[in-house]
Chains A and B, each alone.
Chain A
Amino acid sequence: MIKITDLEKIYRTEEVETVALNRLSIEVKEGEFVAIMGPSGCGKSTLLNILGLLDDPDAGSFVFAGIEVAKFNERKRADLRKRNIGFVFQSFNLIDELTVFENVELPLIYTGVKAADRKKRVDEVLDKVQIMHRRNHYPQQLSGGQQQRVAVARAVVNKPKLILADEPTGNLDSSNGNEVMEMLTDLNEQGTTIIMVTHSEHDARYSHRIIRMLDGQTVIENIMI
């Protein structure tokens, strides 16, 4: 599903040049659950941003679902992103002014789904993540675990092929963290490809494969049994 080859990303300021990704090559197959680990500054987040089509690489190839996307402009990237990729963030990133229902509805609005269809799909997914009873609440009225469940619901409502999760349990206690990981595992079992950046070995164990990075390169890959 994803194949990146010799990917490079360099951040430049007036005085310093930081190589975030250094000729990185990895491949993720459809239906895989991959964890990316590594120390801070190793390039995990940069990789995730490029995989999520939020950023473009300086060099190298990035093939997504058989299409070379490395040179896509912002508009094309946004279009591809909203139809194929869901995001789960460490800090949930829900919009405070919108209710649970409206937060989850948002990706559907941007993809032009009709109102009746939106309502049906949002209710389904809220039911699935067991937050239906809170559908009219605002994010500030929910616990961290509940907020992350809403974030997961928002990530999957568009039925994306790929979910990118950036430290999804980083702001949760272990019980809520486990719940979120179970949810991601379920989604993966239903066929969604998941790439997760994490510092937690415990969470990484939910994945099929761990890619360990250092200084913008892959240093080791562990296959989980």
Chain B
Amino acid sequence: MFRSYLKTAFRSLWKNKGFSLINIAGLGAGIAVCLIIFTILQFELGFDGFHKNKDRIFRVISEREQSGDIRRSPGAPYPMPGILKQEMPGVISSGVFQETNVQIIIDDEQGRPVKRFREEGSVFCVEPSFFEIFDFAVEAGDYHSLADPNTALLSKEVADRFFGDWRTATGKTFRKNGQVIKVAGIMKDLPVNTDLRSGIFVSYSSQKWLSTSDDWHSTASNHNCYLLLPEGTKSADISLKLTALLAKHSDDKKKGDAQALQPVTDVHYNGEISNYTGRAVTGQLVNTLSLIAGFILLIACVNFVNLSTAQAFNRSKEVGVRKVLGGSKFQIRSQFYGETFLLAACATILAGLITIPALPAIGGLLDLPLDNSLLLKPSVLLALAGMLALVVALAGFYPAIVLSRYNPITALKGKLTRKASGGVAVRRGLVVFQFVVAQVLIIGMVVIVQQMSFFQKHDMGFDKEAIVNLSIPSDSASMSKMDFLRSKVKSINGVKEVSFSFASPADNGNWSSNFRFDHAAEETEWFANLKWADHDFLNAYDIKLIAGRNLYPSDTVAEFLVNETFVKQLGITDVRQVLNKEISIWDAMKGNVVGVVKDFNALSLRSGFVPVVISTNKTNYRKAGIKLQTADMGTALTSLRQLWTATFPDFVFQEQFLDEKVANFYAQEQRLSGLYKIFAALAMFLSCLGLYGLVSFMAIQRVKEVGIRKVLGASSLKIVLLFSKEFLILIGIAFVIAAPLAVYFMNKWLKEFAYQIDISWEIIMLAGISAAVIALLTISVKAIRAALANPVRSLRSE
């Protein structure tokens, strides 16, 4: 019987090739989107889930109460990893210090540099115990060698890159930021789904200052401490012990400071506490992507339901005959489910064909290593089978019910009215549903694009156009060349200003601290952003001074500039009142406030203004900020490259334009906006595909009516309107539902940013009108053809 159903199904689908094609294309695209999103989520949600002890691995995080809120940061006090070994013997711990943009030099046997690399990814300094906590396999050598300073384990990929063949790499040396490191062993390449992904693991003891530090007060987001708890230990108990440990060792501990534990399986998904990749896959993102996948699949299923029920009228006779010949409702439903299955199976194959090139492309867009091997994972294949079953159930259910309930007598006599053939109201409802989803996505996409464009154009309070940032090596020899470099850079044609600083006004790396103001007994409870910068900083970045004067040239901390928010935070209304007052940081760096600058955004526009302190401190300068003339930047850059290479021959020259760096703050939003654009376009395309199918069907059904109307004098425009009116009303209703929904959700999204656009009615109307115009064009393709047909032919054939 099943064979007979499939045979009939195949012939019926073949007979209605156009509709079958629309259904297969629509469902194929819908399933492909689901498959791609599922694969992305599968990839993202599996981060660091492969460690066999994952339930017992935690990262120590710091909690600090600030203005009633608890601020969490991933930094652990520097001495903590060392102390834990003595104070908590059952707990395995490892300090993890992350370095980025590391300079690597490979020397030949005579000590001459032969290869230079700038490692864009992370380099981790870890203790041997790191490899007892995490499941990262060592291929050659022994991780215990990392107990010695200046040793490293390299991944096969990195060892191949550095030394040609990983098999010969053990025992060889390389220079990391000038420090000679010996290769102690080789690791298998790390899986792509770990936040601790790196090809270079240097011994923790190589960073002498880390292992000897007794600074319990400072934390940095790149210094972490991981623990493997003994079985049966409650993480809350350990958190309390860690907080007690902090209190014991930290003299100036503030009320509310605490240590807590973050499960390793949370690191990738926590938007508040940073990980090492710079992107967090939050629950909200997972939900949004899942919802989009679900809705796009639903839109495709709706197309199927609409076209099937619209065609049901044509198949009523067949149903009548089958019923008369003894076919039960169940058998008839089974037959139509069979048809849906066949169609959905074709769509699934098409989805596979779409996904194979699309997945790596989407991976490129999202900067994720998504390759097609992920598609062969059993979970993905199982999900694909699940999608097929879901599509058959969702898309096949209603048409099967409608078709199987026909009364055979009425159906056979052709007395079934179009209304009684079922589904008119449902079809209208479903068209509205499709366009609600499509318009919500379009409005959402327009809002995201506008917000991104707002970020690009928003005045951050400093100049970021035509400013190039160049890194400076941190060794003392390089530091000594800074004044020479300044004069050389200034002499380059096309350079307007140059400034050396720890970071640009807004940067990825930030240094914050509390301080003592005006000889107060207590340090402030709040932290200020520290900007170590020379006296040219304000000029180079065009930061406005509103009171006092600029810094005098100095190599050390001598005096301070502060910003308006800093003054406000102190509770002072007149900016001039802070002038000549002392700031003392860690009681080691002291100086008077000599000027107040206008507020500028030291962080991304997700946050508002923060208190900023600027002071000279040459040993901490890591960047040159060079303002160029826009006329001939290419020549100036070439000269800078030559100068840098000549001054720092062991250093890989790499320039970064400030406006690009700032744009990169929103890289994740930018990438997602690219993805949402695709989804919105697809939702609209699928909805229009369904419309096209419905209008095509209408054109066939109403051919006689059109003929009569034309004979009676109706113009072609009137005929087009006849076809369009109903759908335009439905799209209008969809817009009325979609607009407030989209505004609600997008306002929620915008709340993540301190600076946000207002969702104007123009944006919403624009989205609504574009949806209507695209739909109208779709309808018109068929409607115009129907309107232009010769009425004599249609009437004669009737």
Chain A residues close to B by CB (< 8 Å): 49, 52, 54-55, 75, 78-79, 81-83, 87, 89, 93-98, 102, 105-107, 109-111, 154
Contact = CB atoms under 8 A, between A and B. Distances in A.
B361 interface: no
Interface in B1-37: 1, 4, 7-8, 11-12, 15
B324 interface: yes
A102 B7 contact: yes
A98 to B, nearest CB: 7
B322 A106 contact: yes
B11 A154 contact: no
B408 interface: yes
A75 B328 contact: yes
Nearest to B326: A82
B326 A93 contact: no
A109 B408 contact: no
B324 A87 contact: yes
Ordered nearest first, which 10 A-B pairs have the shortest CB separation? A82-B326, A110-B326, A97-B11, A107-B325, A93-B321, A95-B318, A97-B12, A110-B327, A106-B325, A49-B409
B8 A93 contact: no
B303 to A, nearest CB: 22
Contacts of B324: 52, 54, 81, 87, 93
A165 to B, nearest CB: 13
B12 A109 contact: no
Contacts of A55: 409
A109 B1 contact: yes
A154 B324 CA distance: 12
A55 B331 CA distance: 20
B412 A109 contact: no
A97 B15 contact: yes
Given A81-B324, A97-B8, 9 more contacts: A54-B408, A82-B325, A94-B321, A95-B318, A97-B12, A105-B4, A106-B321, A110-B325, A110-B326
B396 to A, nearest CB: 18
Nearest to A82: B326
B63 to A, nearest CB: 68
Interface in B254-296: none
Interface residues of B, number: 22
B233 to A, nearest CB: 64
10 contacts: A78-B327, A79-B326, A83-B326, A93-B320, A93-B321, A93-B324, A96-B15, A98-B8, A102-B4, A106-B4
A154 B325 contact: yes
Contacts of A83: 326
A107 B322 CA distance: 8
A95 B328 CA distance: 17
Contacts of A95: 8, 318, 321-322
B333 interface: no
B323 interface: yes
Nearest to B1: A109
B317 interface: yes
A95 B322 CA distance: 9
Contacts of A79: 326
Contacts of A96: 15, 318
Contacts of B1: 109
Contact of A109 (B4, B15, B317, B321): B4
A24 to B, nearest CB: 18
Contacts of B322: 95, 106, 110
Contacts of A109: 1, 4
B326 A107 contact: yes
Contacts of B323: 78
B671 to A, nearest CB: 48
A9 to B, nearest CB: 12
A93 B412 contact: yes
Contacts of A98: 8, 11
Interface in B311-360: 317-318, 320-328, 331
A123 B328 CA distance: 25
Contacts of B412: 89, 93
Contacts of B327: 78, 110
A82 B526 CA distance: 86
A17 to B, nearest CB: 19
Contacts of B320: 93
Interface string B734-758: 0000000000000000000000000
Nearest to B327: A110
Contact of B318 (A49, A82, A97, A107): A97
A78 B4 contact: no
Contacts of B326: 78-79, 81-83, 107, 110-111
A198 B412 CA distance: 18
B285 to A, nearest CB: 47
A75 B328 CA distance: 7
Contacts of A111: 326
Nearest to A98: B8
Contacts of B317: 93
